[in-house]
Amino acid sequence: MAIARSLMTYLLLTVIYQIYLSRLADQVPLDDRLLVNFIYIPLSLGFLCAVFNWGTIFRTIVIAALIPVLPGLLQGGDPAKSGMEFYIIFSLSIVFSIGSLGGYFFKSLLVRVIGKSSISREKPVE
């Protein structure tokens, strides 16, 4: 069940990221484009990956790091700068992983504050 949920999280966030890149990334103003496309959106999606994924921290980081791989390979690279897309995918993977770490620690803090029973739908331990 956990692996299926992780796969569903990966596919959902990859599709969201691909739709964002193909439809909305060009709509961001030029002054903010670098910050939004390379910091804010990857951090947010990495955070969501950690919130939706119920697993270990290692699995969460790996899934978040794999999100930009498929869209990056689908869009291809610049023939004048061959191999540059791999550096961009690598740097985006690091940003996604940092976002997933923040989401993982936020989720663990939320579990401590609210209680595990309300988040995981288990019976409360008395």
Mean pLDDT score, 107-124: 68
Report the predicted TM-score, pTM, of the whole model to 2 decimal places. 0.82
Q: What is the pLDDT of residue 94?
A: 96
Q: What is the pLDDT of residue 5?
A: 85
Q: What is the pLDDT of residue 103?
A: 93
Q: What is the pLDDT of residue 17?
A: 93
The Cα–Cα gap between 54 and 6 comes to 7
Rounded to the nearest 5°, which phi and psi values hold at 55?
Answer: -170, -170
Residues in the chain: 126
The Cα–Cα gap between 25 and 40 comes to 12
Residue with tokens 């596919």: 11
Q: 69-109: per-residue pLDDT in tens?
A: 988 888 877 788 888 889 999 999 999 999 999 999 998 88
> Which tokens is 101 given?
């770490």
Q: 20-52: per-residue pLDDT in tens?
A: 999 999 999 999 999 999 999 999 999 999 988
Q: What is the pLDDT of residue 121?
A: 52
